[in-house]
């Protein structure tokens, strides 16, 4: 396992980064707040880029390995802390000791220091004792045999769900979820070519390679902030995993077609469909979340692309549909996100087993509600970033059984594996995110 190096040796100067990391972690663990919502605001407003990277590494790493860190904490603390902020602090310290190159004395002293900063000096002795004990006994502790969920650092219910869906691959899915994800860009081919953009990257000293399955993708050797990605602000490229870049090709919107992107925000796939359509495709981009609609508009502006942005509920088309059928519908359904845990490790903390059935019934309701909007001869592409059959092949299987006017379109591809009437990419397959696609035709 590679051990991340702290950005520089002045560990004390990183204290505000640790403070931000601790606040973010407590937000997830105690308040059930998703990282996506709070991360950008907190990281961007207070820290310089190196501290930001360090804070991000600490929060993501701690969440990635949380069940293992919790098992370690139970081992070194006679009584696990009841105070959520102190528990988060201890876990943050253990992560630094177990998984980073921060020298142990710095990991211990800076974490103890934070107990004072957050007004909980009473816990300084406890945090000091726990971390020192781990530092002293680390080799022996790491040899202790752990339960599968602590070893693979996932909640037990989620491992069981992976195993039910993928009996031969569940463990490799869990392992792939622990790897830091690559940063992949999609080149806006209306503005430049992939080859030319690769040369731009190379001349800027940024090593990168062309993706294998997406003809517009470029993966950077090391992730970096978008502000330092050449041409990002001007709309030359977007950040999008290669698996997500496969949607526009599968949708295959022909010149002159009318497309509904039914769950469009923040506009990753909307942008790609428009780039691919080169001005010859009309897109209605729907979303029900006003805040995310703002992100969608921002994406379109940055890419200098135009779509009809429509606030509305995909399950209630009567409220917003003008009655004109669509030749293509993309349903990039809200899902458990179990295919993108490597990018959103807080999913492992925030998701509950009962969420999966609830998601599945919403996904199915969306599919049924949108189908009448599809023109005869049209195609609907169903996509999720889930690896669970309950949200994927079961939804499609149930839908096909219920609708005589729907037929599966076989997806022949060099990526992924067959999954019912669709195709599944598992996390880490060719370095991609986990994704499911199924294409349905209305003959």
Catalytic residues: 385
Q: Is 369 in the site for ligand SAM (CB under 6 A)?
A: no
Nearest approach in angstroms of CB 247 to ligand SAM is 7
Q: Is 288 in the site for ligand SAM (CB under 6 A)?
A: yes
Q: Is 359 in the site for ligand SAM (CB under 6 A)?
A: no
Q: Is 264 in the site for ligand SAM (CB under 6 A)?
A: yes
Nearest approach in angstroms of CB 275 to ligand SAM is 13
Q: Is 266 in the site for ligand SAM (CB under 6 A)?
A: yes
Q: Is 313 in the site for ligand SAM (CB under 6 A)?
A: yes
Which residue, 286 or 300, is less far from ligand SAM as judged by CB?
286
Which residue, 62 or 310, is less far from ligand SAM as judged by CB?
310
Q: Is 332 in the site for ligand SAM (CB under 6 A)?
A: yes
3-state SS of the chain? CCCCCCCCCCHHHHHHHHHHHHHHHHHHHCCCCCHHHHHHHHHHHHCCHHHHHHHHHHHHHHHHCHHHHHHHHHHHCCCCCCCHHHHHHHHHHHHHHHHCCCCHHHHHHHHHHHHHHCCCHHHHHHHHHHHHHHHHHHHHHHHCCCCHHHHCCCCHHHHHHHHHHCCCCHHHHHHHCCCCCCEEEEECCCCCCHHHHHHHHHHCCCCEEECCCCCCEEEECCCCCHHHCCCCCCCCEEECCCCCCHHHHHHCCCCCCEEEECCCCCCHHHHHHHHHHCCCCEEEEEECCHHHHHHHHHHHHHHCCCCEEEECCCCCHHHCCCCCCEEEEEEECCCCCCCCCCCCCCHHHHCCHHHHHHHHHHHHHHHHHHHHHEEEEEEEEEEECCCCHHHCHHHHHHHHHHCCCCEEECCCCCCCEEECCEEEECCCHHHCCCEEEEEEECC
Q: Is 343 in the site for ligand SAM (CB under 6 A)?
A: no
Q: Is 334 in the site for ligand SAM (CB under 6 A)?
A: yes
Q: Is 289 in the site for ligand SAM (CB under 6 A)?
A: yes
Count the site residues for ligand SAM by CB under 6 A. 17
Question: Site for ligand SAM (CB under 6 A): which residue of 67, 268, 416, 434?
Answer: 268
Stretch that binds ligand SAM, among 18-26, 106-114, 173-181, 310-318 (CB under 6 A): 310-318
Q: Is 276 in the site for ligand SAM (CB under 6 A)?
A: no
Question: Site for ligand SAM (CB under 6 A): which residue of 269, 342, 348, 390?
Answer: 269
- In the complex, the residues that contact ligand SAM under the rule CB under 6 A are 263-269, 286-289, 292, 313-315, 332, 334
């Amino acid at each position: 396992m590679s051990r991340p190096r702290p950005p520089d040796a002045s560990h004390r100067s990183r204290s505000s980064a640790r403070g931000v990391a601790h606040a973010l972690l407590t937000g997830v663990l105690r308040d059930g707040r998703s990282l996506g919502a709070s991360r950008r605001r907190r990281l961007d407003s207070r820290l310089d880029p190196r501290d930001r990277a360090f804070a991000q590494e600490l929060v993501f790493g701690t969440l990635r390995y949380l069940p293992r860190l919790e098992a370690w904490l139970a081992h070194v603390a006679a009584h696990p802390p009841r105070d959520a902020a102190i528990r988060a602090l201890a876990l943050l310290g253990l992560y630094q000791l177990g998984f980073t190159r921060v020298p142990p004395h710095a990991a211990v002293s800076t974490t103890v220091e934070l107990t004072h900063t957050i007004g909980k000096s009473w816990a300084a002795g406890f945090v000091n004792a726990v971390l020192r004990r781990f530092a002293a006994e680390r080799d022996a502790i790491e040899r202790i045999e752990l339960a599968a969920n602590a070893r693979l650092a996932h909640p037990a219910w989620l491992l069981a769900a992976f195993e039910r869906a993928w009996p031969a691959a569940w463990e490799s899915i869990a392992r792939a979820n622990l790897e830091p994800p690559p940063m992949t860009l999609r080149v806006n081919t209306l503005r430049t070519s992939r080859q030319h953009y690769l040369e731009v990257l190379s001349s800027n000293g940024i090593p990168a390679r062309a993706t294998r399955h997406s003809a517009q993708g470029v993966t950077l050797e090391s992730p970096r902030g978008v502000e330092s990605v050449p041409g990002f602000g001007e709309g030359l490229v977007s950040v999008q995993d290669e698996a997500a870049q496969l949607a526009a090709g599968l949708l295959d919107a022909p010149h002159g077609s009318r497309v509904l992107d039914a769950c469009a925000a923040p506009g990753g796939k909307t942008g790609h469909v428009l780039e691919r359509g080169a001005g010859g495709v009309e897109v209605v981009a729907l979303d029900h979340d006003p805040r995310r609609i703002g992100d969608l508009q921002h994406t379109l502006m940055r890419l200098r692309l135009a779509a009809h942005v429509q606030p509305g509920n995909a399950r209630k088309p009567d409220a917003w549909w003008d009655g004109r059928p669509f030749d293509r519908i993309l349903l990039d359904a809200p899902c458990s996100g179990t295919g993108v845990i490597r990018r959103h490790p807080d999913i492992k903390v925030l998701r509950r087993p009962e969420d999966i059935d609830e998601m599945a019934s919403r996904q199915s309701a969306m599919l049924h509600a949108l189908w009448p909007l599809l023109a005869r001869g049209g195609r609907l592409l169903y996509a999720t970033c889930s690896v669970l059959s309950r949200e994927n092949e079961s939804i499609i299987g149930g839908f096909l059984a219920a609708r005589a006017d729907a037929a599966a379109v076989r997806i022949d591809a060099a990526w992924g594996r067959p999954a019912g009437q669709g195709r599944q990419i598992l996390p880490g397959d060719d370095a991609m995110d986990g994704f499911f696609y199924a294409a349905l035709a209305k003959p």
